[in-house]
Chain A
Amino acid sequence: MKRFAELMGAERFATGVVTYADHFGDDYVQNTRIVVLARFGQRVFTDAIVDTGALWCILNPQIADQISSQERMWLGDERLYVRGVLYRGRLFRLPITLMADEGDDLTVEATVFVPTFQADEEWVHPNFLGLDGFLHRLRFALDPAENAFYFGAMAD
């Protein structure tokens, strides 16, 4: 990341940078997204779309099941619209870490919606890092020339 040192600068706008992907999973329409690798809890890594249009973080229930129950605080059941469809699910408070290729990893305690399903159902949507529950307290910037996602805490 050629510009990372400059952006670090005196203002310390960014404290970490990570390479983002342009597409999520095997999305057949291959719409352009900003997809970063994030750690949910202490051990579970997965891709998630940076989505300023999403209120909260939303996590695939199969992935959420792999997070230790000690690392996630259940806060109740709710219903939430995801891409126009109303889903039942659970709200959890858990640590989410943006993993830096350079600089510092950033771990934030955030609220995550995990849809609940029957055993024969499958979650058909991506994972999201939402604005209100996660992004709005971070500084972030993109450099499409390098697929670089710069991030930092709003204030130390």
Chain B
Amino acid sequence: MLDVAWTLLKSHQLTLDSFVEMIRLNAPEHGGAALFAAAISHSITEEALRLARALTDAGLGQYPVDQRLINYQKALAPPKLISRTPSKRNFAITMRWLSTHSHEYVGQWIAVQDGVLISTGGSRKMLVEQLGDAAQQDNMLITHVPST
């Protein structure tokens, strides 16, 4: 049923609203909340987040305590401002050092403070243990150097 609905949507024979309505009407006989969850999952993979949100709202209207749908609601929620706090660290010098030297430490975790390499390690945990209290100092940047 979901495959048919997707085909109709992609060929513009269904609008987003009518797609959601089709899922809503068919859910009781085709898996209930699981049909909504499958449609939402497919929408996410297809990068159709507006549709995923509409399906989540409709699904929760019908199945308000379904945990999968509740989780989708959280995942699809807009980003939420938590805090705005005066910056205590200044990584500008360290960022300049990284732009010049980070390629020498690809794949590693490194600790850099005020543009000076302090230590390297295979994991963040290993590095923090090596550094001890120094890991908490201002302007101490512990970061991973990506290999891409």
Q: Does B24 contact A (CB under 8 A)?
A: no
- The answer to whether B87 and A76 have CB atoms under 8 Å apart is no
- The answer to whether B84 and A153 have CB atoms under 8 Å apart is yes
A13 CB contacts on chain B under 8 angstroms:
none
Q: CA A66 – CA B99 in complex, angstroms?
A: 23
The majority secondary structure among interface residues of chain A is strand
- The answer to whether A93 and B78 have CB atoms under 8 Å apart is no
Q: CA A99 – CA B139 in complex, angstroms?
A: 11
- Give the residue among B44, B49, B98 with the most A Cβ atoms within 10 A: B44
A76 CB contacts on chain B under 8 angstroms:
68, 71-72, 75
- Give chain B's interface residue range (CB within 8 Å of chain A): 35 or more
- The answer to whether B148 and A125 have CB atoms under 8 Å apart is yes
- The answer to whether A104 and B86 have CB atoms under 8 Å apart is yes
Q: Which residue of A lies closest to B71 (CB)?
A: A75
B143 CB contacts on chain A under 8 angstroms:
37, 45-47
Q: Does B92 contact A (CB under 8 A)?
A: yes
Q: How far is the CB of B32 from chain A (nearest CB, A)?
A: 17
Of A25, A79, A100, which one neighbours B145 at CB under 8 angstroms?
A25
Q: Does B90 contact A (CB under 8 A)?
A: yes
Q: Does A120 contact B (CB under 8 A)?
A: no
- The answer to whether B44 and A80 have CB atoms under 8 Å apart is yes
A127 CB contacts on chain B under 8 angstroms:
146
A11 CB contacts on chain B under 8 angstroms:
none
